[in-house]
Structure 1
Amino acid sequence: MAADFDAAEVDPVARVLPLLPVPHLDREFDYLIPRDLDADARPGVRVRVRFAGRLVDGFLLARAATSDHTGKLGRLDRVVSSEQVLTPEIAALAEEVATRYAGTRADVLRLAVPPRHARVEAEAPRTPETPPAPEIEHAAWSRYRHGENFLEALGGGRAPRAAWQALPGEDWPRRLAELAALTLASGKAAVLVVPDQRDLDRLVTACADVAGADHVVGLAAGLGPAERYRRWLAALRGSARIVVGTRAAVFAPTPELGLLVVWDDGDDLHCEPRSPYPHAREVAALRAHAVGAAIVIAGHARTAETQALVDAGWAHDLVAPRDVVRACAPKVTALADSDHALARDPAARAARLPAIAFAAARSALAADRPVLVQVPRRGYVPALACGKCRAPARCRHCNGPLALPTAAGPDGAAIPACRWCGVADARHRCHACGARSLRAVVVGAARTAEELGRAFPGVPVVTSGGNDVKHTVPGSASLVVSTVGAEPVAEGGYGAALLLDGWALLGRADLRATEETMRRWLTASALVRSFADGGQVVVVADSGIPTVQALVRWDPVGHAQSEVSERAEVGFPPAVHMAAIDGSSSAVAELLEATHLPEGAEVLGPVPLPPGQRLPFGSEGPEPEDVHRMIVRVARERGRALGRALRDAQATRTARRADGPLRVQVDPPRIG
Structure 2
Amino acid sequence: MSSENGQAKGGAEGAPPEQLALIRESVRRANAPRAKPRTWRGAALAKELPVARVLVDKGVLHLDRYFDYAVPEELDAEAQPGVRVRVRFGAGRHRVREGRREGGGLIDGFLIERRAESDYSGPLAALAQVVSPERVLDEELLGLARAVADRYAGSLADVLQLAVPPRNARAERRPSPAPLPPPAPPAPGSWSRYERGAAFLESLAAGGAPRAVWNALPGPGWSEELARAVAATLASGRGALVVLPDGRAVARVDAALTSLLGEGRHAVLTADAGPEKRYAQWLAVRRGSVRAVVGTRAAMFAPVRDLGLVALWDDGDDSHSEPHAPQPHAREVLLLRAAHDKCGFLLGGVACTVEAAQLVETGWARPLVAAREQVRAAAPLVRTVGDADLARDEAARAARLPTLAWQAAREGLRHGPVLVQVPRRGYVPRMACAACRAPARCRHCSGPLEAQESRSEVRCGWCGREEGGWHCAECGSFRLRAQVVGARRTAEELGRAFPAVPVRTSGREHVLDTVPGTPALVVSTPGAEPVAEGGYAAALLLDGWAMLARPDLRAGEDALRRWMASAALVRPQSEGGTVVVVAEPTLRPVQALVRWDPVGHAVRELAERAELGFPPVSRMAAVSGSGEAVADFLHTVDLPRTAEVLGPVPLPVTAAGRPRRPGAPPPGEHWERALIRVPPGSGAALAGALKAAQAARMARGNGEAVRVRIDPPDIG
Q: TM-score, normalised by structure 1?
A: 0.92
Residue 578 (str. 1) matches residue 586 (str. 2): no
SS in 1 for 2:364: coil
Pair 343,576 (structure 1): closer, same or farther in 2 beyond 3 Å: closer
- Please state how far the C-alpha of 1:38 moved relative to its aligned partner: 1.1
Residue 33 (str. 1) matches residue 93 (str. 2): no
Q: Which moved more, 1:389-398 or 1:140-149?
A: 389-398
Residue 643 (str. 1) matches residue 687 (str. 2): yes
Q: Which moved more, 1:385-394 or 1:236-245?
A: 385-394
Amino acid at match of 2:406: F
- Please state how far the C-alpha of 1:267 moved relative to its aligned partner: 0.5
Work out which of the residue numbers 445, 450, 454 in structure 2 matches 1:403: 450
Q: Which residue of 2 aligns with 1:550?
A: 592
SS in 1 for 2:202: helix
Q: In structure 2, how many angstroms separate the alpha carbons of the residues matched to 1:487 and 1:345?
A: 30
Give yes or no for contact 1:180–1:242 (8 Å, CA) kept in 2.
Answer: yes
Residue 536 (str. 1) matches residue 574 (str. 2): no
- Please state how far the C-alpha of 1:311 moved relative to its aligned partner: 0.9
Q: Which residue of 2 aligns with 1:507?
A: 549
Residue 51 (str. 1) matches residue 98 (str. 2): no
Amino acid at match of 1:197: G
Give yes or no for contact 2:176–2:284 (8 Å, CA) kept in 1.
Answer: yes
Q: Which residue of 2 aligns with 1:361?
A: 409
Aligned residues: 658
Q: In structure 1, how many angstroms separate the alpha carbons of the residues matched to 2:257 and 2:652?
A: 40
- Please state how far the C-alpha of 1:489 moved relative to its aligned partner: 0.6
Q: In structure 2, how many angstroms separate the alpha carbons of the residues matched to 1:398 and 1:205?
A: 53
Pair 171,650 (structure 1): closer, same or farther in 2 beyond 3 Å: same
- Please state how far the C-alpha of 1:128 moved relative to its aligned partner: 4.7
- Please state how far the C-alpha of 1:511 moved relative to its aligned partner: 0.6
Give yes or no for contact 1:578–1:634 (8 Å, CA) kept in 2.
Answer: yes
- Please state how far the C-alpha of 1:363 moved relative to its aligned partner: 2.2
Q: Which residue of 1 aligns with 2:231?
A: 181
Give yes or no for contact 2:653–2:667 (8 Å, CA) kept in 1.
Answer: no
Give yes or no for contact 1:336–1:348 (8 Å, CA) kept in 2.
Answer: no
- Please state how far the C-alpha of 1:431 moved relative to its aligned partner: 9.6
Q: Which residue of 1 aligns with 2:149?
A: 98
Pair 327,623 (structure 1): closer, same or farther in 2 beyond 3 Å: closer
Q: Which residue of 2 aligns with 1:469?
A: 511
Q: In structure 2, how many angstroms separate the alpha carbons of the residues matched to 1:163 and 1:390?
A: 41
Q: Which residue of 2 aligns with 1:425?
A: 466
Residue 567 (str. 1) matches residue 609 (str. 2): yes
- Please state how far the C-alpha of 1:398 moved relative to its aligned partner: 7.4
SS in 1 for 2:583: strand
Amino acid at match of 1:597: L
- Please state how far the C-alpha of 1:358 moved relative to its aligned partner: 2.0
Give yes or no for contact 1:131–1:215 (8 Å, CA) kept in 2.
Answer: no
Q: In structure 1, how many angstroms separate the alpha carbons of the residues matched to 2:232 and 2:453?
A: 51
Pair 436,146 (structure 1): closer, same or farther in 2 beyond 3 Å: closer
Give yes or no for contact 2:144–2:336 (8 Å, CA) kept in 1.
Answer: yes
Give yes or no for contact 2:548–2:559 (8 Å, CA) kept in 1.
Answer: yes
Give yes or no for contact 1:372–1:482 (8 Å, CA) kept in 2.
Answer: yes
Amino acid at match of 1:59: F
Q: Which moved more, 1:437-446 or 1:64-73?
A: 437-446
Pair 16,445 (structure 1): closer, same or farther in 2 beyond 3 Å: same
- Please state how far the C-alpha of 1:63 moved relative to its aligned partner: 1.4
Q: Which residue of 1 aligns with 2:96?
A: none
**Deviations 1:477-518 (CA, angstroms, capped at 9, x unpaired):** 221111111111111111111111110110111110000001
SS in 1 for 2:682: helix
Q: Which moved more, 1:109-118 or 1:444-453?
A: 444-453
SS in 2 for 1:80: strand
Give yes or no for contact 1:301–1:556 (8 Å, CA) kept in 2.
Answer: yes
Work out which of the residue numbers 368, 375, 387 in structure 1 matches 2:422: 375
Amino acid at match of 2:604: S
Amino acid at match of 2:714: R
Work out which of the residue numbers 202, 213, 216 in structure 2 matches 1:166: 216
SS in 1 for 2:128: strand
- Please state how far the C-alpha of 1:402 moved relative to its aligned partner: 3.5
SS in 2 for 1:248: helix
Q: In structure 1, how many angstroms separate the alpha carbons of the residues matched to 2:381 and 2:630?
A: 52
Q: Which residue of 1 aligns with 2:53?
A: 15
- Please state how far the C-alpha of 1:642 moved relative to its aligned partner: 1.0
Q: Which residue of 2 aligns with 1:114?
A: 165
**Deviations 1:629-659 (CA, angstroms, capped at 9, x unpaired):** 0111001211122111111221122122233
Pair 418,223 (structure 1): closer, same or farther in 2 beyond 3 Å: farther
Give yes or no for contact 2:323–2:662 (8 Å, CA) kept in 1.
Answer: no
Q: In structure 1, how many angstroms separate the alpha carbons of the residues matched to 2:150 and 2:392?
A: 57
Sequence identity (%):
55
Pair 119,417 (structure 1): closer, same or farther in 2 beyond 3 Å: farther
Amino acid at match of 2:419: L
Structure with the greater alpha carbon radius of gyration? 2
Q: Which moved more, 1:264-273 or 1:48-57?
A: 48-57
Q: In structure 2, how many angstroms separate the alpha carbons of the residues matched to 1:282 and 1:343?
A: 42
Q: In structure 1, how many angstroms separate the alpha carbons of the residues matched to 2:661 and 2:591?
A: 35
Alignment of 1:448-527 (within 5 A): 448-527=490-569
Pair 530,439 (structure 1): closer, same or farther in 2 beyond 3 Å: closer
Give yes or no for contact 1:364–1:495 (8 Å, CA) kept in 2.
Answer: yes
Give yes or no for contact 1:581–1:664 (8 Å, CA) kept in 2.
Answer: yes
Q: In structure 2, how many angstroms separate the alpha carbons of the residues matched to 1:396 and 1:36?
A: 73
**Deviations 1:588-635 (CA, angstroms, capped at 9, x unpaired):** 2333333222231111101122676658699xxx98955100111001
SS in 1 for 2:704: coil
Pair 386,531 (structure 1): closer, same or farther in 2 beyond 3 Å: closer
Q: In structure 1, how many angstroms separate the alpha carbons of the residues matched to 2:251 and 2:437?
A: 45
Q: In structure 1, how many angstroms separate the alpha carbons of the residues matched to 2:273 and 2:79?
A: 30
Q: Which residue of 1 aligns with 2:383?
A: 333
Between 1 and 2, higher relative CO (CA 8 Å, sep ≥ 6) is seen in 1
Give yes or no for contact 2:653–2:668 (8 Å, CA) kept in 1.
Answer: no
SS in 2 for 1:167: coil
**Deviations 1:520-562 (CA, angstroms, capped at 9, x unpaired):** 0110011111111111111111211111111111001000001
Q: In structure 2, how many angstroms separate the alpha carbons of the residues matched to 1:168 and 1:390?
A: 35
Unaligned runs of 5+ in 2: 1-37, 91-102, 655-659
Q: Which residue of 2 aligns with 1:146?
A: 196
Work out which of the residue numbers 124, 127, 130 in structure 2 matches 1:79: 130
Amino acid at match of 2:417: P
Q: Which residue of 2 aligns with 1:411?
A: none
SS in 2 for 1:548: helix
- Please state how far the C-alpha of 1:131 moved relative to its aligned partner: 5.7
Q: Which moved more, 1:99-108 or 1:380-389?
A: 380-389
Residue 592 (str. 1) matches residue 634 (str. 2): yes
Amino acid at match of 1:190: A
Q: In structure 1, how many angstroms separate the alpha carbons of the residues matched to 2:394 and 2:189?
A: 46
SS in 1 for 2:347: strand
SS in 1 for 2:278: helix
Pair 533,610 (structure 1): closer, same or farther in 2 beyond 3 Å: farther
SS in 1 for 2:87: strand
Amino acid at match of 1:599: R
Q: Which residue of 1 aligns with 2:35?
A: none
Amino acid at match of 1:244: V
SS in 2 for 1:213: coil
SS in 2 for 1:631: strand
Q: In structure 2, how many angstroms separate the alpha carbons of the residues matched to 1:121 and 1:327?
A: 51
Give yes or no for contact 1:415–1:425 (8 Å, CA) kept in 2.
Answer: yes
Q: In structure 2, how many angstroms separate the alpha carbons of the residues matched to 1:464 and 1:403?
A: 22
Q: TM-score, normalised by structure 2?
A: 0.86
Pair 279,611 (structure 1): closer, same or farther in 2 beyond 3 Å: farther
Amino acid at match of 2:422: V
- Please state how far the C-alpha of 1:417 moved relative to its aligned partner: 4.7
Residue 384 (str. 1) matches residue 431 (str. 2): yes
Give yes or no for contact 2:390–2:402 (8 Å, CA) kept in 1.
Answer: no
Pair 343,395 (structure 1): closer, same or farther in 2 beyond 3 Å: closer
